[in-house]
Amino acid sequence: MGMDRKPRKGGKGRMAARCAARGSDPRASLYDEVTAKIISQLEAGTFPWVQPWSAAAACPGLPRNAVSGRPYSGINVLILWGAVIEGGYPNQDWLTFRQALAAGGCVRKGERGQTIFYADKFVPKDEHEQGQVVGDEPRAIPFLKRFTVFNAAQCDGLPERLTAAPAPLPEREQHWQAEALIAATGADFRIGGGQAFYSSTLDFVQVPPQPAFAQQIDYYRTALHELGHWTGHRSRLDRDLSGGFGSAAYAREELCAELASAFLCAVLGIVPTVRHADYLGNWLTVLRADNRAIFKAASQASKAADYLLAFIDAVQLEAAA
């Protein structure tokens, strides 16, 4: 799988000033921490986005907050998928210590939580004031905040609605949901040949015929990977698709498409079997060189998956199942 690829002056704000006084950026250690964990998983042969669940232990899907039902996105998907694998949890439902108490339950003594992250921006008061004086837009300062969550299986006393056993997977592989999504995008999607790729110059996707795949379910994972690249076209999400094969930019885009495919497979209930070890070296090189790379790739992948899913609603997906 792959692609062809032919400061403003002024105050830094209170938070930036405090960081400068300490001589370090508190976000850096968080980026280092998560990146190191992903690298160690890859080095150990674990690809948390390829098959993010055990058929015997966990239901497929995106991790979600057990109370609100809201799915997590970006880097938090990878973190929580890895935690499900490591802990052997039977679901993808997570909640905070306080949410467990508010729901009438509690986290069992001795259980360890999983750190996830919330990224946003804020505009300091002095930036607002300076912007009003000079007529410029105030500069927003990014921040990264930690949260600790626990899997529902680590809790006792939760109401049944938060602990109900996941529905068993259907015996038939859910091919038609992926077919419906591919058709709904309206992409120039071509079947044939012996290679899978996205042409950024001619804006089309091509994949080999499904019978050419040793495990036919992997046809859909491959198709969704290439559609992940397709979302990066300048008329869509406008990512940098200029990197040549083997370059860092190429590896970053491949990682984005790989994660987008994994996210989509989770939503559609597809459990692929293929692993692309040929990209592993390039991914590790990128991750070791930039502790923010996995955060950016996961964020871009979530946007790509959301972009594709927007073409088809839940009713259509259920009808195609």
223-261 pLDDT per residue, tens: 999 999 999 999 999 999 998 887 889 999 999 999 999
* pLDDT surpassing 60 at residue 14: no
128 confidence band (pLDDT: 50, 70, 90):
low
Mean pLDDT of 271-281: 67
Most confident of 122-131, 159-168, 292-301: 292-301
Question: Whole-number mean pLDDT of the chain?
Answer: 81
- Residue 8 predicted with pLDDT over 70: no
What percent of the chain lies above the pLDDT cut of 90?
Answer: 45
How far separated are the first and last CA of the chain, in Å rounded?
Answer: 26
For the full predicted model, state whether its pTM sits above 0.85.
no
In this structure, of 7-11, 62-66, 72-76, 314-318, the range with the lowest mean pLDDT score is 7-11
Amino acid letter, residue 155 = C
DSSP string, 88-145: T-S--EEE-HHHHHHTT-EEPTTPPPEEEEEEEEE--HHHHHHHHHHTPPPPPEEEEE
pLDDT computed for residue 180 by the predictor: 92
Residue 238 pLDDT: 96
Whether residue 194 is predicted with pLDDT greater than 90 in this model: the reply is no
pLDDT higher for 172 or 239?
239
- The two structure tokens encoding residue 151: 């899997």
- The reported pLDDT for the residue numbered 22 is 38
Is the confidence at residue 116, as pLDDT, over 70? yes
Across 2-11, 53-62, 196-205, 291-300, least confident range: 2-11
Query: Average pLDDT in the 260-287 region?
Result: 81
User: In the chain, where are the structural domains located?
Assistant: 24-163, 175-320
Q: Return the pLDDT at 239.
A: 96
- What are 36-71's pLDDT values in tens digits? 988 988 888 777 777 666 555 566 688 999 999 999
What b/e sequence results for 41-61 when a residue is b if at least 16 CB atoms lie within 10 Å of its CB, and e otherwise? bbeeeebbbbbbbeeeebbbb
pLDDT over 50 (residue 127): yes
